[in-house]
A and B are shown apart, each in its own frame.
Chain A
Amino acid sequence: MEFLLVQALSGLASAASLFLVASGLSIIFGVMRIVNFAHGAFYMLGAYVAFTLTDRFAGPLGFWGGVLVASLVVAAVGALMEMVLLRRIYHAPELFQLLATFGVTLMVEDLVVLIWGSEDLMGPRAPGFTGAVSVFGRLVPSYDFLLIALGPLVLGLLWLLFHRTRWGVLVRAATQDREMVASLGVNQKWLFTSVFALGVFLAAFGGALQIPRTTVSHAMDLSIIVEVFVVVVIGGLGSVTGAFVAAILVSELNAFGILILPQISMITVFLVMAVVLVVRPYGLFGKPEGAPRAAAGISIRPWRPMTNLERSGVAAVVVVVALMPLFAGDYTLSVGSEILVYVLFAASLHFLMTVGGLSSFGHAAYFGLGAYGAALLVKYFGAPMEAALVIGPVLGLVGAVLFGWFCVRLSGVYFAMLTLAFAQITWSVAFQWVEVTGGDNGILGIWPSSWASTPQGFFWLALAIVVVCVAALRMLVFSPFGFGLRAARDSALRSEAIGINGKSTQWIAFIVAGTFAGIAGALFAFLKGSVFPETLGIPTSVDGLVMVLLGGIETVSGAVVGAVVYKALAIWLMSKTELSKLVLGGVIVLLVVAFPKGIVGFLEDLRHRRPKAPGGAGSEGAVDVAKVEAAR
């Protein structure tokens, strides 16, 4: 009994930081509609800067002053990022902001190692809170009580800020209708910057407060960001109270999940989130999202099948690639095979995102399921490669059938988060069901048949499969089914009216995408000769997103180019520099700013320069200016 109480107290103490970070994310999303992936990075920066300051200046003033100053410094960095980076891309599709903040996260991860080293750091204890309090004969750190009190205090202060100051009222108004706020004479530029700064401040404060409890490490950001996403989604995007309640819920689930279900402790939180989303699609305290930002600008150029000339061009490229094994070395070919696998993975996600209008953050689940499907067949049934390549992806299909049924009930960010949750659940199963999957040790010895065992042979195999699959996806886009999907994406209501069942259409798209990802995954297993839980992990999902967005979300097959560019760049950088994340992050940020429509979208714009702008000013420019102004 006492033990349970102590466990509950420790959960509450963890909830404090989680709440701080999550409320910051929620506030930013509410007003700016930006899912700030860099939020975890700011949390980590808060901890590092606080470590340096409190290390330098001892004493209560040094500690508390250090924590506060660190949070302010990081908030200033956040404001700077908003001004120089985000302001440039407010008019881009929403996911681009996610991509940009992801790039920043990568950069911060390397910068942190560069500045503070890769060793974990032990911060000082909080002066005055170094001891422990005895609760029913068990010791609870007194600092935990401080944190437990801090949560409600911050909640109260935020409430006052949003209800008793003009700034807060403006923020709440902007959460509902930004254009109207501008129409009343409010300069949203500064409103956005200040909101972003406040959100980042809360994240950094949450991080700084952690230093007496845990070591400071350069993996802090990813470990918290997923949990924070979960909290924000359970609580309801944009709701601070929701973040508070959900932070407690999640922290207690963590604290007790370990005791009750140690085997699947990691899954419990995600299961709860999935249940909440299915029962309350906008989270516990959330409200239905306003209509998604007008898709104006998207698909100004209607999609069309390739012309014969273009087909010949593509065929020529395929032929040249197919000739590569005649002159390229083994290393190049194995890199080439890997890129091909990712081309298919990205193309399948692209299909779901563009045609289905569904942005999955957990597409790696189906990639990984395909890989595990193939690997398990080889390991337990001694299946040959040919059979495993055909049957393995079925596991991806089954996963997509099951998870997709739940996911397509949601849309927008909530859809993205539910896909993320399912991917994490799948990952947990692969990681923790050691008897079957080998857990962290993975499944080894998944080798191709002899005819495909040379780098040349495998490259040809991969090329053949990928070309056929990508072509099939493209044909689907222009099939009647594809038209139905696009109708469902563009106007849920209208398509229902003409007799298209949006949900089941999207579900089918989900299954198609999952199956093709599974095929890519099965290939991947044979390419690497092994499968590990990472194939299902968040970084793999994010890689897929980056490829799609880099290629261009408004294009039919941009993901192919995005995958080639991103994967080649990543592999090349990894071999060239220690700071590959810094460079890669920087490149992503630059690409986002330079090509807000993706690489292929940019090229298409070049080709289709619109002839004459109505009334003089460049029409493209005029549209952009207008959207920026509307965003102000």
Chain B
Amino acid sequence: MKLEVSGLNSFYGQAHILFDVDFAVGEGEVVALLGRNGAGKSTSFRSVVGLVGQRTGKVMFEGEDVSRLPTYDIVRRGLGYVPEDRRIFTELTVEENFVVGRQAPRSGVATWTPERIYELFPNLGEMRRRPGGHMSGGEQQMLTIGRTLMGNPSLVLLDEPSEGLAPKIVEQMADAIMAMKREGLSIIISEQNLHFAKLISDRAYIIEKGRIRFSGTMADLEANPEIRDAYLAV
């Protein structure tokens, strides 16, 4: 397994948010973490990269326990993180945003350059000098993914990449994620949008109120509409 999370419990202050959450991503797999608003998807991802202060449990990345490491160290090992709400650097140009994300090439993993990212997201190539604050939501979403790719990750956590995007851009996003998969990247996305998840994922987990309620292939999920209806907004 590329990433193996087990027994994750997370807290914000006194509030217990995640309860014994387990999930895993295999080499080259695309996995979806599905759940409604406030189910705990973002908290799961933030916990994996060490951004949630109070958490217990084990996070194994490429066979090593990274749960006690600081965020930057986890990320440098090749675990890329794309936050929800994008968080691009609005004062920095597209190129400069890439500079922040840049890390040394990693052996056995695709190496990304700005040029290759412009191939993936042609829109970005047309606005290399534009400050991040002056871009549309879709372009910002592309930028935040590209910025993380600049770190040459072997696995990417994508937090709701389709959120708030026009249908056309969502399609483009799905294509890009498939292209990333073809590069050999392992990917886990969090989603509320089942339709989008179906386009790209091999497997899915469903999280609700901080607990994993379902785990299986997309086909399993298709075959059990009652699960979908119980835990996801459709």
Contacts and interface: CB of A to CB of B under 8 A. Distances in A.
Contact of B56 (A170, A296, A616, A623): A616
B72 A180 contact: no
A177 interface: yes
A180 B54 CA distance: 19
B6 interface: no
B51 A623 contact: no
B13 A180 contact: no
A170 B89 CA distance: 10
B89 A172 contact: yes
Contacts of B215: none
B49 A184 contact: no
Interface residues of B, number: 35
B101 A184 contact: yes
B13 A300 contact: yes
A493 B147 CA distance: 33
B83 A180 contact: yes
A173 B92 contact: yes
Contact of A186 (B14, B72, B83): B72
A627 B53 CA distance: 7
B76 A185 contact: yes
A179 B51 contact: yes
A135 interface: no
Contacts of B11: 614
B72 A632 contact: yes
B9 A173 contact: no
A615 B56 contact: yes
Interface in B68-86: 70-73, 75-76, 81, 83
A160 interface: no
Contacts of A181: 100
B70 A177 contact: no
A616 B50 CA distance: 17
Nearest to A631: B70
A613 to B, nearest CB: 8
Nearest to A170: B100
Interface in A159-183: 166, 169-170, 172-173, 175-177, 179-183
B42 interface: no
A431 B4 CA distance: 69
A441 interface: no
Contact of B54 (A183, A300, A622): A622
A309 interface: no
Contacts of A625: 53
B83 A183 contact: yes
A183 to B, nearest CB: 5
Q: Which of A172, A176, A180 has the most CB of B within 10 A?
A: A180
A176 B72 contact: no
A184 B151 contact: yes
A626 B53 contact: yes
Nearest to A187: B72
A320 interface: no
A177 B102 CA distance: 17
Contacts of A172: 89, 91-92, 96
A220 interface: no
Interface of B: 9, 11, 13-14, 16, 49-54, 56, 70-73, 75-76, 81, 83, 87, 89-92, 96-97, 99-103, 147-148, 151
Interface of A: 166, 169-170, 172-173, 175-177, 179-188, 296, 300, 614-617, 619, 622-623, 625-627, 629-630, 632
17 contacts: A169-B92, A170-B99, A172-B89, A173-B92, A176-B91, A176-B92, A179-B71, A183-B49, A183-B83, A184-B101, A185-B76, A614-B16, A614-B56, A623-B54, A626-B52, A630-B53, A632-B71
Ranked 8 nearest A-B pairs via Cβ: A626-B53, A615-B56, A185-B75, A185-B76, A182-B71, A173-B100, A629-B70, A173-B89
